[in-house]
Amino acid sequence: MPNFPKIGPDNDNGEASEPPPTVPKSLRAAQPPTPQDQGRHLQRLGHSDGVKASYRREKWRSRSMSISSNGNDVSSSGSVSSRSSFSSESGSSDEEEDAKFDPREREQKNSAGQSDFCVRNIKLATFGRREIEIAQESGLNIYAWKNMTEKGFWWCIDQCVAADFPSETATVEGEGVNKNVWANMILDDGGDLTHHLYKNYPDKFNNISGIVEENIAGIHRLYQMSRQGKLPAPVMNVNDSVTKTKFDNFYASRESVTDAIKRSTDCMIGGKLVVILGYGEVGKGCAAAFQGIGCNVMVTEVDPICAIQAAMQGFRIVRLEDVVHHADIVVTCTGNKNVVTRDHMNKLKKGCILANMGHSSVEIDVSSLATNELRWERIRSQVHHIHWPDGKYIVLLAKGGLANHNCSSIPSFVISVTATTQALALIELYKAPPTRYKADVYLLPKKMDEYVAQLHLTVFNAHITELTREQAAFLNINRTGPFKSQHYKY
Ligand code: NAD
């Protein structure tokens, strides 16, 4: 097992210290943090439990959207057709029955008698859904279920805000446990918890040593706060750590996009004309997957650098409106809003599959499909046919939510890489000397990124080469890393 890397001034092995990496200059806070901000950071309590987790929203809630013109969710009004012989659906009538109830309306207790949690249906723990297993087995307070509504999502966050984090080191007279202690770290995904606290419960930050954020949208919001001098604690941006970006965005998308389409539509993918919108990490992964399976892949881009990369990879760079009539499969990967509009969808050819792999539910303008002349038909879980009056239909996956999260699965290896990165970031922020991180946004120290990769290399029985002293001196780096500068482009 490789040793946990030592960072910065703590480095006691006589090697040159690596200064904590920060945000690129262009993104740095315009104003220095206020003394109050810094004071909060320095105000640490001596307990280490109670790390707060706001799990990736889309992953857990797969938010159900209200899309029919009468405000009802189409999935509940549409009938399941005979085509619902879908292998990855559980087919459990218990689960279907269960889906009709809001978990908040249930009285739930796990086998240990604990009831401070809320999941879909604890009785269905054997069906392998992780949030249920956690509630059943670990006794953690967990508030999560698939298909939660927006209202349910905020209810869950409020449950976490209201929760106690009993600590062994902080005591209340006569009880031995301080019921008023709250979390001392935030692990956020999308920034919802951080912003909710900032707006409604700013005092909670008095005890927060740091925030770890892994989502691109959440990071944008935190950079904004940083520029305005409003950050209440130091932030570690793990979204831009190399291991996270490569695994969560590139490799996982490469493996899951075709899997999601195959599982949900059973269609033959080879030979199809596929349009990928956006050629960033996710788009590169998706394009590679379709290319590998024998598709004719075209790419749309706004950024000339990404566009030229796509061109060099052999993809044609097009505008969606120019090829929309011919596309068999359209996949959005931009992180941007309404990149597929109603106008585009009017022009898609019959049977075209439309899937979103980018930012939660915003990339496809699904709300524009809630008009009277269009008929929604639920084919099976996460698959709808949208019928036009002229007989044309398109196949919409996951109602415009993330296709891979809803129709496929995230490999545990990817979760392991991401979770390890997040855990190391939490440990680093918590254990660092108070002067190392102020209320600003930081990148994960390169050495930690390398450590995450090193830990996971064991899976591949890999033997990496060690630098000789002479070689390390020639490259002017330490023999044990970091091997690259912070801004090296892998
Ligand atoms: P990225 O910034 O590397 O890539 C997005 C690309 O889209 C950029 O190159 C940008 O120029 C391009 N773009 C933006 N607007 C466009 C438009 N209107 N038309 C065409 N191209 C446009 O980001 P990324 O790492 O590829 O992530 C993209 C999105 O996917 C993010 O929202 C991210 O949170 C999400 N994501 C999804 C998964 C998943 O499992 N589905 C995993 C990781 C990230």
Per-residue pLDDT of the chain (490 residues; tens, 9 = 90+): 556 666 543 443 434 344 455 544 444 433 333 334 333 333 332 233 333 333 334 444 333 222 223 333 333 222 223 233 223 333 455 566 666 778 888 888 888 888 888 887 877 777 677 788 888 888 788 898 877 888 999 999 999 998 877 655 544 455 555 555 789 999 999 899 999 999 999 999 998 999 999 988 899 999 999 999 999 999 999 999 999 889 999 999 999 999 999 999 999 999 999 999 999 999 999 999 999 999 999 999 999 999 999 999 999 999 999 999 999 999 999 999 999 999 999 999 999 999 999 988 899 999 999 999 999 999 999 999 999 999 999 999 999 999 999 999 888 899 999 999 999 999 999 999 989 999 999 999 999 999 999 999 999 999 999 999 999 999 999 999 999 998 898 9
Give dist(CA 223, CA 428) in Å, integer: 20
H/E segment holding residue 160:
helix 150-162
Residue 242: how many CB atoms within 10 A of its CB?
A: 20
The pLDDT score that the predictor gives to residue 451 is 96
Residue 260: how many CB atoms within 10 A of its CB?
A: 26
Phi, psi for 144 (deg, rounded to 5): -165, 135
Give dist(CA 328, CA 295) in Å, integer: 10
Q: Ligand 1 center to residue 346 CA distance, Å? A: 24
| Residue 168: alpha-carbon gap to chain centroid | 32
| Contacts for 258 with CB less than 8 Å, ≥ 6 apart | 269, 289, 290, 293
Domains of the chain: 100-146 (no CATH), 249-407 (3.40.50.720)
Tokens coding 405: 């999260």
Strand 296-300 relative to strand 210-213, pairing = unpaired
DSSP 8-state symbol, 315? P
The pLDDT score that the predictor gives to residue 106 is 81
Residue 248: how many CB atoms within 10 A of its CB?
A: 25
User: Of 232, 237, 240, which is closest to residue 209 (Cα–Cα)?
Assistant: 232
The pLDDT score that the predictor gives to residue 115 is 85
Q: Which residue has the tokens 């029919």?
A: 68
The pLDDT score that the predictor gives to residue 462 is 95
CB 440 within 8 A of CB 235: yes
| Contacts for 270 with CB less than 8 Å, ≥ 6 apart | 293, 294, 295
Tokens coding 447: 């050495």
Q: Ligand 1 center to residue 133 CA distance, Å? A: 32
Pocket of ligand 1 (CB under 6 A): 215-216, 248-249, 252-253, 277-283, 300-303, 306, 333-336, 339, 357-359, 402, 404
Q: What pTM value is reported for the model?
A: 0.76
Q: Which of 216, 246, 356 to mutate to test the pocket of ligand 1 (most atoms within 8 A of CB)?
A: 216
The pLDDT score that the predictor gives to residue 429 is 96
Residue 11: how many CB atoms within 10 A of its CB?
A: 15
The pLDDT score that the predictor gives to residue 379 is 96
The pLDDT score that the predictor gives to residue 75 is 32
Look at ligand 1, atom 38, and give the residue with the nearest C-alpha: 249
Residue 152 Rama label (left phi>0; alpha psi -120 to 50; beta): alpha
Residue ranges of alpha helices (H) inside 228-325 are 242-244, 252-265, 281-292, 304-312, 320-323
